[in-house]
Amino acid sequence: MKNIVVLIGFLSSGFVFAQVGIGKESIDGDGILDFAPNSTNGIMLPIVEALPNDAVAGTILMDKNDKMIKMKDNSGWVALSDAGSIDNVTFNTNAEVSGPNRVIIGNPATTVPGVLVLESANKALILPKVAAPHINVKSPYPGMMCYDTVSKTMAVFDGLKWSYWK
């Protein structure tokens, strides 16, 4: 009987579209991914050696070549920062493991490429909320992204300075 319950739970888990909270117990609104309030942590964007050809609109990354944070829109790549610095970054030099190397939250059948794919028809990413990151984040890492609760803007750190977007 126990095996049947476990099997039913496992098989039905593919049909559940969950909301994920990191460092908190309840999600704000209809977020697909939400973070604990009042922290100085952000999301670390991948630093890529070449802009991916198959990126979809909404992809955000840091370009290793020009050291800029960029977002893909329908017409191309948009710079979200000036040229920064990656001097203090230690890169993983191991060969990439082949296969599906990603985390998907939302639609498990998606074919959208990415390290972290958030796909939902009615939910969105809620950025980590940080008050005045240029003051309160003591050692930001190149490619850090968060929501500034003071200026009510998206903030990205390019390794030298913060850039803010409304």
**pLDDT tens, residue by residue, 83-123:** 999 888 877 777 766 666 666 666 667 666 666 676 666 66
What's the chain's Rg over C-alpha atoms?
A: 18
Q: What is the mean pLDDT of the chain?
A: 77
The region that residue 118 occupies, defined by phi over 0 for left and psi between -120 and 50 for alpha, beta otherwise, is beta
Place 125 in a pLDDT band, splitting at 50, 70 and 90. confident
Per-residue model confidence (pLDDT) at position 3: 40
Residue among 46, 152, 38, 149 at smallest CA distance from 102: 46
pLDDT for res 79: 94
Supply the pLDDT for residue 103.
64
Residue 110 and residue 104 in contact, taking contact as beta carbons nearer than 8 Å: yes
CA–CA separation, 19 and 106 (whole Å) = 8
pLDDT for 148 = 94
Residue 33's pLDDT band, with cuts at 50, 70 and 90, is low
pLDDT at 56 over 70: yes
CA distances from residue 108 to 29, 45, 102, 105, 111 in whole angstroms, order as listed: 22, 22, 11, 7, 9
- Who has greater pLDDT, 136 or 23? 136
pTM of the model: 0.72
DSSP labels for 90-102?
Answer: PPP-SPPPPS---
Mean pLDDT of all residues in 53-70? 90
Look at the chain and count its residues: 166
Asked if residue 115 lies in contact with residue 96, where contact means CB atoms within 8 angstroms, the answer is no
Domain boundaries, the chain: 2-165
